[in-house]
């Protein structure tokens, strides 16, 4: 609720062509919307990596881990 389109980890990684890392999803304010889902699936850390070609982002890879750090 009240979220701006593209303000998620993936949106930021895509828009700014930069790697996003959260070592503790449950403490990261950027991931407030996803914390309940992270608990449900047992995820604690997240990294989102953009793939680019000629300076344009063409895809993302997101990796989740069950441990912090």
Only one residue has tokens 């919307």, namely 33
Instruction: Show pLDDT as tens, one digit a residue, over the chain (69 residues).
Output: 445 556 788 999 999 999 999 999 999 999 999 999 999 999 999 999 999 999 999 999 999 999 998
* Rg over CA atoms, the chain: 12
Q: Are 48 and 13 in contact (CB under 8 A)?
A: yes
Structure tokens given for 31: 């991931």
DSSP label of 35: H
Give the closest residue to 48 by CA, choosing from 35, 31, 33, 32: 31
pTM of the model: 0.84
Structure tokens given for 7: 């303000």
């Amino acid at each position: 609720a009240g979220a701006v389109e593209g303000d998620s980890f993936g949106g930021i990684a895509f828009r700014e062509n930069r790697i996003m890392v959260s070592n503790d999803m449950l403490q990261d304010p950027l991931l407030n919307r996803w914390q309940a889902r992270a608990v449900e699936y047992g995820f604690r850390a997240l990294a989102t990596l953009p793939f680019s070609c000629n300076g344009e982002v063409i895809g993302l890879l997101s990796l989740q881990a069950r441990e912090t750090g």
